[in-house]
Amino acid sequence: MALEMYLDLFSQPCRSVYIFAKKNNISFDFRKVSLLEGEQYGEEFGKINMIRKAPAIRDGDFCLAESIAIMKYLAEKYQTSDHWYPADLQKRARVNEYLSWQHMGIRMHGSKLFWLRLLIPKIMGVEVPKDKMDGALEDLEGSLKLIEEKFIGDKPFIAGEQISLADLVAIVEIMQPVGSGLDVFEGRLKLSAWRDRVQAEIGKELFDEAHQGILASQEMVKNMDSSKMQVFKPKILRFFL
């Protein structure tokens, strides 16, 4: 049975898994899961991932969730190039340091701005108060500063001279608010130069393929049927408003 990947490229973690597999010539069957339409809550997807989140994979009888776990699994199974998840103790520690930080350190803030700028006005039919938007932007700017000053520093990539899983996970998260029309690279020369290096290592064609959906999201959200997204209202009220 072919490796199956359950993905929605609207999602940052899904994009990282997709890019990693494609870049390393790992063959898989793409199974689209539309998160904004709630397909992760369907009965069939529940058999693959009880956590009800994408990405998820099925490799024969083995099912696995969580993007970081999936990429580490693929790196070991397919013996990908060492630079992705280095055997060197300290380089691997640098990768793990970023991967441990990023969940709350950047993902939360980039995702929040995407929701505040695009999805909440569409689903709720109201504009987000300026103080909430300003606070979210301040949080994101603090995280981007940390990425530049601590994680990248004076190195080409987060773990050193070569791209790693840390860079891949970082770039997909940073691109999320870009999809809402916010140019997070403006005025950030170090971050922009790092982005260009990451894009070059991934390959522009693959990078653009993975991000074409999110970069077209402003137009896509305009044309979406908001009634299909009402399942997210409780989450919005609990976490954002």
- List the Cα angle 26/79/33 in 5-degree steps: 35
Range of the domain at 17: 3-80
CATH number reported for the structural domain that contains residue 16 in this entry = 3.40.30.10
CB 44 within 8 A of CB 93: no
139 in the same domain as 43? no
pLDDT digits (tens, 9 = 90+) for 92-130: 999 999 999 999 999 999 999 998 998 888 777 778 889
CB 31 within 8 A of CB 21: no
64 in the same domain as 120? no
Q: Give me the pLDDT at residue 17, please.
A: 98
76 in the same domain as 151? no
Q: Which portions of the chain are predicted below pLDDT 70?
A: 225-241
Q: Give me the pLDDT at residue 28, please.
A: 98
Place of tokens 């997709």: 18
54 in the same domain as 162? no
Provide the domain count of the chain: 2
CATH number reported for the structural domain that contains residue 111 in this entry = 1.20.1050.10
> What is the value of pTM for the model shown?
0.92
123 in the same domain as 62? no
Place of tokens 């000053």: 149
Long-range contacts of 77-84 (CB under 8 A, 24+ apart): 78/24, 78/26, 80/20, 80/24, 81/24, 83/159, 83/162, 83/163, 83/164, 84/20, 84/24, 84/163, 84/164, 84/165, 84/168
